[in-house]
Amino acid sequence: MRIAFCCTNTKAAPWIAGLSAALPGADIHEWQPGAPQADHAVVWAPPQQFLDEQPQIKGIFNIGAGVDALLKLRLPPQAVLVRIDDGGMAVQMAEFVCHAITRHVRELDVIEIAARRSEWAFRKPRRREEFPVGVMGLGVLGSLVANAVKQFDYPVMGWSRTPRELPGVQCFAGEDQFDNFLQATRILVCLLPLTSETRDIINARTLSKLMPGAYVINVARGAHVVDEDLIAALDSGHVAGAALDVFRTEPLPAEHPFWHHPKITVTPHTSARTLRDESIAQIAGKIQALERGEPVAGVVDLQRGY
């Protein structure tokens, strides 16, 4: 069995060593133009040339959860595209979101600014009941985030394309229930996959439906947010603030207004990073299952985009 590793801006050696240990007997190599045909590929942002030169490939295993970049390419028609279910990212994402919520609700950002001025700025605690959290996207990452937020006694809701059930989480689904979800949400967390349906979903209309004094946390993809609409909602006061970890252009250009807006916290796409060992174990297990003809989790529906 031959496995090609083609991951842009990724050190190949540790991945190949880990995959070789997990799949003894497999021929695993870093792809170079003109390389022999492989049975499977482990990829991140591969060039179109790679896919064109590997028409017989059976499985394409993406080392991240998001596959939007891959779906812009021409994929071999018989290949199965498989995403990482977690790769150690879910707990990191939950930590990040809970921190962002706590920082906003407890007004730790205000306290931090005052501390720099040597001011003892006590803030009266605010009631969690006044800050219902709405999570958009209830996949592996979104479900764990919703459950983590729930542990802090916030009212938690979730919205997804198709109906889901999570104990203790009020679930909404589909376009018909989207406005009801938004109107009951004061802290909006985006964990949606990026598809043609979800691109620009955090726009002027969506933001206007949120409860007054809303807060936006985006840890999914930058293209979910219409930048100008978010800034307008912040300037109007309807949205109180935003924590943004992902952007349409990364790194975020130095001249972008997000950097300097007093109500926006910018972080450099660091809410969750793929953990190599966990991802290797998962990919190896899925390759073995695929070779045995068994179903694997995380197969991407190319029509839906996730």
Point out the residues that are catalytic.
Answer: 221, 269
Looking only at Cα atoms, what is the longest distance across the chain? 67
Residue type, 147: N
Whole-number Å distance between alpha carbons of 225 and 285: 35
Of 19, 76, 3, the closest CA to residue 279 belongs to 19
Whole-number Å distance between alpha carbons of 25 and 62: 22
Of 232, 223, 230, the closest CA to residue 250 belongs to 223
Q: Helices 108-116 and 89-105 meet at what angle, rounded to 10? A: 70
Of 55, 53, 3, the closest CA to residue 29 belongs to 3
DSSP state of 209: H
207 close to 239: Cβ distance less than 8 angstroms: yes
Backbone conformation region of residue 179, classed left if phi is above 0, alpha if psi is from -120 to 50, else beta: alpha
Residue type, 76: P
Whole-number Å distance between alpha carbons of 130 and 8: 44
Q: What is the DSSP string of 92-161?
A: HHHHHHHHHHHHHHTTHHHHHHHHHTT-----PPPPGGG--EEEE--SHHHHHHHHHHHTTT--EEEEES
